[in-house]
Amino acid sequence: MGIFQLLMEKPWLPVEGEGEEPAEQRASSMESPHVGLRVFLAVATVLFTLFLVVYVERMTFPDWRPLSEPWVLWLNTLVLIISSAGFHWASVNAERGDLEGIKT
């Protein structure tokens, strides 16, 4: 079998004449959106980890100057915390079935 045929092989598709395999015999029980989400989260985690490693490594050089902390940084952090608390409150009220708590 050549390399091209090996690359074009699709082992997840049922072979003609055999029918579809039962769900418990499939390679993975996860649905495609869940796999895609996990792949995206893995890539995002690796990317931000690399940014952090490079930032920390760059701080060791003698010509490093620390970044200034503008007031907008703290304002954005405060907005993020308040909106997260509001989202959590609405989520808890939605689980309880309290529609008035969701609206406020």
pLDDT at 15: 72
pLDDT of 3 higher than 80 = no
* Average confidence (pLDDT) over 89-102: 85
How does residue 99 score in pLDDT terms, banded at 50, 70 and 90? Answer: confident
Closest CA to 86 of 72, 68, 73, 104: 104
* 24/40 Cα distance (integer angstroms): 26
pLDDT at 4: 77
Write down the residue that tokens 């997840």 correspond to: 12
What are 11-22's pLDDT values in tens digits? Answer: 777 777 665 555
Domain ranges of the chain: 31-66, 68-104
DSSP 75: H
Task: Say if residues 49 and 61 touch (Cβ distance below 8 Å).
Answer: no
* 4/96 Cα distance (integer angstroms): 56
What are 25-74's pLDDT values in tens digits? Answer: 555 566 778 888 999 999 999 999 999 999 999 999 999 888 788 889 89
> What pTM, to 2 d.p., does this model score?
0.45
